[in-house]
Amino acid sequence: MRLPGWTAAAGLLLSLPSALAALTAPDFTSLDSIKDTAAEVAKDLLSFYKGEDPGWVFAIGILPGPPPDGDYFWWIGGAMWGALLDYRHQTGDTQYDRIITRSLVEQSGENKDFMPANWTATMGNDDQGFWAMTAMLAAETNFPRRPPRPGSTGSPCINNGFDYVNTISNGIYFNLGARLARYTGNDTYAEYAEKTYELLERLKYIDEEGNVHDGAHLPKDCLDVNKLQFSYNAAVMIQGAAYMYDVTNQSQKWKDRLDLLVDRSLAVFFPNGVAYEYACEGVGSCNVDMRSFKGYLHRWVSQATVLAPHLRDRVMAVFEGSARAAVAACDRGDNGQLCGFEWARDGGGAQSPKQTSAVHQMNVLGALTGLMMKEAKVPVTNATGGTSKGDADGGAACPTCGRWRRSPWATGSGRGS
Ligand SMILES: *[C@@H]1O[C@H](CO)[C@@H](O)[C@H](O)[C@H]1NC(C)=O
Ligand SMILES: *[C@@H]1O[C@H](CO)[C@@H](O)[C@H](O)[C@H]1NC(C)=O
Ligand SMILES: *[C@@H]1O[C@H](CO)[C@@H](O)[C@H](O)[C@H]1NC(C)=O
Ligand SMILES: *[C@@H]1O[C@H](CO)[C@@H](O)[C@H](O)[C@H]1NC(C)=O
């Protein structure tokens, strides 16, 4: 029987709520199914970036910002393209290549060192470093259209007024050094990386239990260690340590360092088997930057297991449970499937603010992409098919000095740049 028009219309209206169904969980035993879900999350991530649309008022390659003009600082753009490059590499989904290339080229700056003149005044080494890690990833995954050279972190260390020597800047320097050592086969990078790691141990930024603290102030000789632990600090060290383990032909020294960091991070950041931004999540004080860390945690530690397969089963068992909770938190926004941040809470079905953000999408994309790395091949090097022409001097200019920036977390006002 044909329904009268108005009944059909009413029926449509009634069905609207179910049209806004939450993101469908994948079959976690099927790589293809995980890929399909990740594709949805990636598409929703790109809905926050409208840089290709006429009327875009922000620079090409960045998310709306920086505050107060939009939610996101410059570096989050670099981090987002990194998340998409990992996704692309694991899935073969090349539909965003043009946008990624355009963004990396646009933001690489006048000297191809990811210090575009517009941002230098407020930029810390870590901000620049996030873009450099994305360029490194492009090289390691043979991203076709040459983005700027990887590893260009060779800028002076100092931005006036910055006196907080943070772990993330040193961690990125270490991470890139380890990756350049592996990519180029040049031991000089490995030496810089190892010195940086030892400095962080000596200053107790990394302690004997494998905790990775946030930083300290130079006027106090970096002895006033800020004991806050953020997951991106641990993750950047873990990924770098896995590269050093590989570069040193599975040395016991780097295995011990790596295992210590991984054990401690699984305990600190996955208290109930679900990623939890320990320093701020429980009290609801995570700012946008901090709300982006879980994605790096999932991706970088997953990637570490590719080079250190003895960690794979242990890490993946936890990360799969975490990814399940992540997807369960994708139940909001205009289309009903944008993601939340508090996975432990959201996944548990309790109420939580129905906030949406590009960084939440990056996190869930990272969690799903990380699971795909169970079967990933090791990254290419110059000797195994990598085609990026690195610049041997990139990254070498700055000795293992402190990387300076103003205190990001102590003031409660978010990052300074
Ligand atoms: C620099 O700022 C100008 C003016 O705001 C803008 O048009 C341009 O796109 C910016 N360039 C980059 C690389 O961000
Ligand atoms: C990479 O390998 C090619 C060919 O083997 C060689 O000519 C080139 O110098 C290498 N580049 C670097 C940066 O090591
Ligand atoms: C690792 O092994 C390779 C090949 O056997 C060798 O050329 C290289 O020197 C070794 N590196 C280290 C740090 O032991
Ligand atoms: C290795 O890297 C260092 C630092 O960038 C550079 O000075 C040196 O020439 C490189 N060595 C080789 C063999 O390319």
pLDDT at 163 over 50: yes
Alpha helices in 20-73 (DSSP H): 31-46
Confidence (pLDDT) at 385: 83
Q: Which residue has the tokens 């896995």?
A: 242
Burial per residue of 147-168, b for 16 or more beta-carbon CB atoms within 10 angstroms, e otherwise: bbbbbbbebebebeebbbbbbb
pLDDT at 150 over 80: no
Confidence (pLDDT) at 50: 94
Confidence (pLDDT) at 353: 73
Spatial distance between the Cα atoms of 395 and 382, rounded to a whole number of angstroms: 17
> Where would I find the beta strands (DSSP E) of 244-327?
none
What average pLDDT does this structure show over 64-72? 94
pLDDT digits (tens, 9 = 90+) for 250-266: 999 999 999 999 999 99
Spatial distance between the Cα atoms of 387 and 142, rounded to a whole number of angstroms: 7
Q: What residues form DSSP beta bridges with 98?
A: none
Q: How confident is the model at residue 6 (pLDDT cuts 50, 70, 90)?
A: very low
What average pLDDT does this structure show over 374-398? 71
What average pLDDT does this structure show over 175-190? 95
Q: How far is the CA of 119 from the centre of ligand 1 (A)?
A: 9
Which two tokens mark 343? 């996975």
Q: How far is the CA of 388 from the centre of ligand 2 (A)?
A: 9
- For residues 140 and 179, the answer to whether their CB atoms sit within 8 Å is yes
Ligand 2 test: best mutation among 149, 152, 179, 382, most atoms within 8 Å of CB?
382
Confidence (pLDDT) at 120: 63
What average pLDDT does this structure show over 268-283? 95
Confidence (pLDDT) at 109: 75
Q: How confident is the model at residue 134 (pLDDT cuts 50, 70, 90)?
A: very high
pLDDT at 4 over 60: no
| Most confidently modeled range among 89-98, 141-150, 224-233 | 89-98
pLDDT at 417 over 60: no
Give the length of the chain: 417
pLDDT at 159 over 50: no
Q: State what percent of residues in the chain have pLDDT above 90.
A: 67
Confidence (pLDDT) at 96: 97
Q: Which of 357, 373, 358 is nearest to 320 (CA)?
A: 373
Confidence (pLDDT) at 220: 75
pLDDT digits (tens, 9 = 90+) for 301-316: 999 999 999 999 999 9
Interstrand relation of 164-166 and 404-405 (parallel, antiparallel or unpaired): antiparallel
Torsion, Cα 336 340 345 348, to 10 degrees, reads 30
Which two tokens mark 390? 């690195």
Confidence (pLDDT) at 227: 85
- For residues 347 and 324, the answer to whether their CB atoms sit within 8 Å is yes
Q: How confident is the model at residue 122 (pLDDT cuts 50, 70, 90)?
A: low
Q: Which residue has the tokens 């960084």?
A: 359
Answer with the residue of higher pLDDT: 120 or 355: 355
**Atom of ligand 2 at shortest range from CA of 185:** 14
Burial (CB count within 10 angstroms: exposed 0-12, middle 13-18, buried 19+), residue 98: exposed
Q: Output the pTM of the full model.
A: 0.87
In this structure, the number of other CB atoms found within 10 A of the CB of residue 290 comes to 22
Spatial distance between the Cα atoms of 281 and 285, rounded to a whole number of angstroms: 6
pLDDT at 219 over 80: no
What average pLDDT does this structure show over 52-67? 93
Confidence (pLDDT) at 128: 84
Q: How confident is the model at residue 393 (pLDDT cuts 50, 70, 90)?
A: very low
Q: Which of 78, 81, 88, 77 is nearest to 38 (CA)?
A: 88
pLDDT digits (tens, 9 = 90+) for 14-53: 444 445 789 999 999 999 999 999 999 999 999 999 999 9
Spatial distance between the Cα atoms of 410 and 406, rounded to a whole number of angstroms: 10
| Most confidently modeled range among 144-153, 210-219, 383-392 | 210-219
Q: Residue 119: nearest ligand to its CA?
A: 1
Task: Report DSSP letters for 143-182, one per residue.
Answer: -SS--SPTT---S-S--TT--EEEHHHHHHHHHHHHHHHH
Mean pLDDT of the chain: 84
Any atom of ligand 3 within 6 Å of the Cβ of 249: yes
Q: Residue 149: nearest ligand to its CA?
A: 2
Spatial distance between the Cα atoms of 290 and 55, rounded to a whole number of angstroms: 29
Backbone angles phi, psi at 164, to 5 degrees: -100, 115
Distances (CA, A) of 174 to 121, 131, 290, 296, 402: 24, 15, 21, 16, 12
Q: Which of 393, 407, 369, 359 is nearest to 85 (CA)?
A: 369
Any atom of ligand 4 within 6 Å of the Cβ of 382: no
Confidence (pLDDT) at 407: 38
Confidence (pLDDT) at 387: 80
Q: How confident is the model at residue 147 (pLDDT cuts 50, 70, 90)?
A: low
DSSP H or E segment with residue 215: strand 215-217
- For residues 45 and 94, the answer to whether their CB atoms sit within 8 Å is no
- For residues 406 and 163, the answer to whether their CB atoms sit within 8 Å is yes
In this structure, the number of other CB atoms found within 10 A of the CB of residue 414 comes to 14
Confidence (pLDDT) at 176: 94
> For ligand 1, atom 9, which residue shows the shortest CA distance?
59
Q: How far is the CA of 184 from the centre of ligand 4 (A)?
A: 9
Q: How confident is the model at residue 225 (pLDDT cuts 50, 70, 90)?
A: confident
Q: State what percent of residues in the chain have pLDDT above 70.
A: 79
Confidence (pLDDT) at 20: 76
Distances (CA, A) of 81 to 339, 363, 396: 18, 13, 24
- For residues 382 and 390, the answer to whether their CB atoms sit within 8 Å is yes
